[in-house]
Amino acid sequence: MIPEIGHFALILALCVALVQGILPIYGAAVGNSALMAVAKPAARTQFLLVLTAFGCLAYAFADKDFSVLYVAATSNSQLPLHYRLAAIWGAHEGSLLLWTFILTIWMFAVTLFSTHLPDTMRSRILGVMGLVSVGFLLFMLSVSNPFERLIPAAPEGRDLNPLLQDPGMVIHPPMLYMGYVGFSVAFAFALAALLGGNLDAAWARWSRPWTTVAWCFLTVGIAMGSGWAYYELGWGGWWFWDPVENASFMPWLAGTALVHSLAVTDKRGGFKVWTVLLAIMAFSLSLLGTFLVRSGVLTSVHAFATDPKRGMFILAFLAVVIGGSLLLYAWRAPRVGLGGSFSVLSREGLLLANNVLLVAAMGSVLLGTLYPLFLDALDLGKISVGPPYFDSVFVPLMTPALFLIGVGPLAQWKQAALPDLAKRLRWAFGVSIATAVALPFALGTWTPLLSLGLLLAVWIFSTAVVGVRERVGHVAGDGYVARLAGVPRSYWGMLLAHCGIAVFIVGVTMVKGFETEQDVRMNVGETATIGGYTFRFDGVQDVMGPNYTAARGTFHIIKDGRETAVMYPEKRRYTAQNQVMTEAAIDTGFLRDLYVSLGEPLDDGAWSVRLYHKPFIDWIWGGCLLMALGGVVAVSDRRYRPAWRREPQTVPAGARLASRQIA
Partner 1 sequence: MTRFFLPLAIFGIMVGFLAVGLTLNPREIPSPLVGKEAPAFSRQQLHEQDKVFARKDLAGQVWLLNFWASWCSGCKIEHPVLMELAKSGAVPIYGMDYKDQRDEALAWLNRWGNPYQIVGVDLEGRVGIDYGVYGVPETYVIDKQGVIRYKQIGPVTEEALAKTILPLVKELQAK
Residues binding partner 1 (CB under 8 A):
240, 242, 273, 277, 280-281, 284, 291, 295-299, 301, 308, 311-312, 315, 318-319, 322-323, 326-327, 329-330, 333-334, 370, 372-374, 376-377, 381-384, 386-387, 519, 580, 599-600, 608, 610
Cα distance between residue 190 and residue 184, in whole Å: 10
Closer residue to partner 1, CB minimum distance, 68 or 281: 281
Amino acid type, 595: Y
Closer residue to partner 1, CB minimum distance, 117 or 581: 581
Cα distance between residue 492 and residue 546, in whole Å: 46
Cα distance between residue 539 and residue 109, in whole Å: 54
- Is the C-alpha dihedral spanning 435, 436, 438, 439 positive or negative? positive
Cα distance between residue 486 and residue 473, in whole Å: 11
Closer residue to partner 1, CB minimum distance, 122 or 614: 614
Q: Reply yes or no: is the peptide bond before residue 118 cis, omega within 30 of 0.
A: no
Closer residue to partner 1, CB minimum distance, 84 or 92: 92
Least separation in angstroms between CB 315 and partner 1: 6
Closer residue to partner 1, CB minimum distance, 300 or 554: 300
User: Is 456 within 8 Å of 402 (Cβ atoms)?
Assistant: yes
Measured from the Cβ of residue 145, the count of other Cβ atoms closer than 10 Å reads 19
Least separation in angstroms between CB 287 and partner 1: 11
Closer residue to partner 1, CB minimum distance, 82 or 309: 309
Least separation in angstroms between CB 62 and partner 1: 32
Least separation in angstroms between CB 343 and partner 1: 23
Helices 119-143 and 308-318 pack at an angle, to 10 degrees, of: 160
Beta bridge partners of 594: 587, 613
- In this structure, what are the phi and psi dihedrals at residue 398, rounded to the nearest 5 degrees? -80, -30
Amino acid type, 611: L
User: Is 469 within 8 Å of 606 (Cβ atoms)?
Assistant: no
Least Cα distance to 253 among 584, 299, 232, 261 occurs for 261
Closer residue to partner 1, CB minimum distance, 326 or 421: 326
Q: How far is residue 582 CA from its own chain's centroid?
A: 26
Cα distance between residue 7 and residue 462, in whole Å: 56
Closer residue to partner 1, CB minimum distance, 222 or 581: 581
DSSP 588-628: E-SSEEEEEEEEEE-STT-EEEEEEEEETTHHHHHHHHHHH
Question: What's the number of CA atoms in the CB half-sphere (13 Å) around residue 518?
Answer: 15
Least separation in angstroms between CB 521 and partner 1: 8
Closer residue to partner 1, CB minimum distance, 263 or 292: 292
Least separation in angstroms between CB 79 and partner 1: 22
Least separation in angstroms between CB 296 and partner 1: 8
User: Is 543 within 8 Å of 519 (Cβ atoms)?
Assistant: no
Least separation in angstroms between CB 357 and partner 1: 18
- In this structure, what are the phi and psi dihedrals at residue 292, rounded to the nearest 5 degrees? -60, -40
Least separation in angstroms between CB 604 and partner 1: 17
Least separation in angstroms between CB 407 and partner 1: 29
Least separation in angstroms between CB 325 and partner 1: 9
Least separation in angstroms between CB 327 and partner 1: 6
Closer residue to partner 1, CB minimum distance, 343 or 384: 384
Q: Residue 585 is inside which H or E element, if any?
A: strand 585-588
Least separation in angstroms between CB 481 and partner 1: 49
Closer residue to partner 1, CB minimum distance, 81 or 580: 580
Task: Give the burial class of 147: count Cβ atoms within 10 A of its Cβ; 0-12 exposed, 13-18 middle, 19 or more buried.
Answer: buried
Least separation in angstroms between CB 600 and partner 1: 5
Length of the chain measured in residues = 663
User: Is 287 within 8 Å of 321 (Cβ atoms)?
Assistant: yes
Torsion of CA 530, 536, 542, 543, to 10 degrees: -70
Closer residue to partner 1, CB minimum distance, 378 or 442: 378
Q: In what order do the strands lie in the sheet with 585-588?
A: 516-522, 607-615, 592-601, 585-588
- In this structure, what are the phi and psi dihedrals at residue 638, rounded to the nearest 5 degrees? -55, -35
Cα distance between residue 343 and residue 424, in whole Å: 20
Closer residue to partner 1, CB minimum distance, 241 or 640: 241
Least separation in angstroms between CB 408 and partner 1: 26
Closer residue to partner 1, CB minimum distance, 358 or 506: 358
Closer residue to partner 1, CB minimum distance, 168 or 387: 387
Cα distance between residue 522 and residue 607, in whole Å: 6
Cα distance between residue 205 and residue 263, in whole Å: 8
